[in-house]
Structure 1
Amino acid sequence: MAGKIKAQGSLAVVQLHHAGFRAPRELIGDMPVAPSPSEKFGARGLSHGEVQSLIEDFIRGAERAKQAGFDGIEIHGAHNYVICQFLSAEFNRRTDEYGGSLKNRSKVLFDIISGIRKRCGAEFLIGVRLSPERHGILLEEAVGTAKALFAAQEIDFLDISAWNVFKEPVEAAFQGRSLLSYFCELDRGEIRLGAAGKVYSPEDVYYCFEQGLDFALLGRAAMLHHNYPHLLRDNASFMPKRTPVSREHLLAEGLSEQFLEYIASMWPDFISG
């Protein structure tokens, strides 16, 4: 699988996610759902049949992505979206086969992966994004999920959404070394490992490689320069722009007006003027 990623060069991958209780009722017009009822978020628990329908929806989403010409998909299991909610013992209090032990809480994720692999084929890329902590996720369990994914060898890449690739874990018991080190030390077989979080300068990218990652993910830096990798490849002294930048610059980089409004609400200092 690792050779497949390398051989294909430029790839188009779309992300699949379900908001779960993150979806505002006023937006979706109905009560949001979650693995278990949540008074805090005003969400109802999914029935057993609805969980199976959720798994099928992800698989069919991957099939549509393949039909549309994408090389693969990334399953978003981070940031408290519904798969992350299933992984969390804080939010998943189910008593059926989708709750209880970490193995049971991760069953939704693994059933989605197996279904996509079966119906989209061996050459279709499958990635997973995980939160290593926060959102009800404990580091030890996040590492356990990563280990299980590596052992199964059904995905092509794992994306750790670290928020800050330079940080130590939040949990005091695991401090004294970097958060990334807990994942980089795992035997990953043919699966590629990457991370995102405050990766901005070329030095940041090189730091990720030095820690043992196979790739680094760009967020805001990629908004500033849609062709960042090419700019760095062609100029060893390349340094990305610093925020704030103009709306005109971001539009020229391919961002939409609607996305600019979202950015302005999330990061007020990102756009000048």
Structure 2
Amino acid sequence: MASLNDPLELRHGRTLPNHLVLAPMTNLQSHPDGTISDIEIDWLLARARGGFGITMTAAAYVNPAGQVWPGQLGISSDAHIAGLERLAREVAAAGSVSSVQLHHGGVKAIAAVSGHDVVGPWADAQTGVRELSTGEVQQVVDDFAAAALRAEKAGIDGVEVHGGHGYLVGQFLDESNNTREDGYGGDSGGRARFVHEVMRAIRGRTGPDFQVGLRLSVERYGLVPDEMVDLVADLLAGGDLDYIDLSLWDVRKLPVHAPEGSRMLIEDFLELPRHGTALGVAGHIASAADAQWVLDQGADLGFVGKAAIADHAFAQRAMADAGYRAPNFPVTKDHLRAEMLGEPFVEYFATNWPHLVTA
């Protein structure tokens, strides 16, 4: 079994110094034009210096129409490259591998934030969402590939496509809503077409040393669990990806509506042949024991979210002490500020998860 601090060689690019990844987390810290800010770089560099093998940004929109939050990072324009160049240099100097998460909100985008019409795989007259034409779908595939190329030009080591949490990539996988008849919906193969095309386009546009990952939700959001197992199996075997990141909310959870005593959700995926593609998991990894547990179950990477908010050096401490546990929530706003969260991130976190933050 692997240990947390063992290096991990991926299919492409730099060898990871360990098996711990800073999960991508919404933080509202970028400038209004999507360029990265000093406070966002400070947040990320603290985690890079704190030992994470991959230091990943928050979701970065690949097209302005896909923006969901004010202060969201952008990678839709060459104007976004300069700030990412600085991030790449400083993350590398800290000994970590850099990654930008690529994102499009689809039907969850907010017109008042983006200034653009909201578009997605299907129309919704009640909310004003317009259905993407076939040509526009193909343009969004290109938007993801162009954004990956910008990251590579900036010196970033890789990208992760956000296919989880009901955003655009996941919307195409939604059985209950994606009834398109143009080959991008209708049946399981059609629903999976978009994600396959995005991954192939990124791999084709970027070089052999550039790493490509994909975050997926595997239940809820209109997803069919058996289809998601088949999709992950196909992606693991396809050769385009360096890793898949399964966002599970809790790595030990049972499938939704499963009776007590059922197999854990994670098990169906960890049993799949990898074909050289790494498999990571995220959800309630808050201690060295939690992180080691996911490796012992057969995962290759542990993606750490809230514990990395509470402690910028979670990775370093977990690798040094098998008994280490991140600070318990709730924590104070001053604790968050000391952990290099900028004020927009502190307020966003406190507003959305008030049970995790005291005054």
Q: Do both share a fold (TM > 0.5)?
A: yes
Residue from 226, 232, 241 that aligns with 2:312 = 226
Letter in 1 for 2:352: M
Hey, what's the Cα distance between the residues in 1 that align with 2:12 and 2:163? 23
> Hey, what does 2:202 align to over in structure 1?
116
Q: Which runs of 5+ in 1 are unaligned?
A: none
2:285 equivalent among 196, 199, 211: 199
283, 303, 327: which one aligns with 1:217: 303
Deviation at 1:73, TM superposition (A): 0.2
Residue pair 1:35, 1:94 contacting (<8 A) in 2 also = yes
1:126 CA displacement: 0.4
CA distance in 2, matches of 1:61, 1:106: 21
Letter of the structure 2 residue corresponding to residue 152 of structure 1: G
The amino acid of 1:180's aligned partner reads: I
How far apart, CA to CA, are the structure 2 residues paired with 1:219 and 1:71? Answer: 20
**Aligned counterpart, 2:15:** 7
Say which structure, 1 or 2, has more relative contact order (CA 8 Å, 6+ apart).
Answer: 2
In the alignment, structure 2 segments of 5+ residues that lack a partner are: 1-8, 18-95
Structure 1 residue 212: Cα displacement: 1.2
Q: State the 1:172 CA deviation.
A: 4.0
TM-score (normalised: structure 1)? 0.94
Counterpart check, 1:156 vs 2:242:
yes
Per the alignment, residue 29 of structure 1 pairs with 115
Write out per-residue CA displacement over residues 220-265 of structure 1, whole angstroms, 9 at most, x where no aligned residue. Answer: 0011112211112223332211112222222222211111111112
Of 92, 107, 110, 2:193 maps to: 107
- CA change 1:239–1:41 in 2 (3 A) is same
Once the 2 structures are TM-superposed, how far is the Cα of residue 174 of structure 1 from its aligned partner? Answer: 11
Q: Is the 8 A contact 2:287 2:318 kept in 1?
A: no
Cα separation, 2, equivalents of 1:89 and 1:39: 19
Equivalent positions of 1:237-248 (< 5 A) are 237-248=323-334
Match of 2:102 in 1: 16
Instruction: Give the corresponding residue for 1:64.
Output: 150
Count of residue pairs the alignment pairs up: 273
Distance across 2 between alignment mates of 1:161 and 1:33? 24
Q: Distance in 1 between matches of 2:277 and 2:260?
A: 25
Structure 1 residues 135-161: Cα deviation after superposition (integer angstroms, max 9, x where no partner):
111111111110110121210000001
Q: Distance in 2 between matches of 1:67 and 1:194?
A: 26
Q: CA deviation at 1:18?
A: 0.3
User: In 2, Cα distance between the equivalents of 1:248 and 1:150?
Assistant: 42
CA–CA separation in structure 1 for the residues paired with 2:147 and 2:332: 35
CA contact (8 A) 1:164 1:198 kept: yes
- Percent of aligned pairs with the same amino acid: 37
Q: CA deviation at 1:196?
A: 0.7
The change in CA–CA distance for 1:15 and 1:93 in structure 2 (over 3 A counts) is same
Moved more, 74-83 or 233-242: 233-242
For 1:142 and 1:4, locate their aligned partners in 2 and report how far apart those are by CA, in whole Å. Answer: 25
Contact 2:250 2:283 in 1 (8 A): yes
Superposed CA offset, 1:35-69 (max 9, x none): 01124543111011111111111111101111111
Alignment of 1:133-172 (within 5 A): 133-172=219-258
Write the distance in 1 (CA, Å) between the matches of 2:137 and 2:251.
33
Instruction: Work out the CA distance in 1 between the residues paired with 2:154 and 2:341.
Output: 21
Provide the rounded CA distance (Å) in 2 between the counterparts of 1:237 and 1:227.
15
Give the corresponding residue for 1:260: 346
> Alpha-carbon deviation of 1:8?
4.5
Aligned to 2:189, the other structure's residue is in SS state helix
Q: Return the TM-score normalized by structure 2.
A: 0.72
CA contact (8 A) 2:289 2:322 kept: no
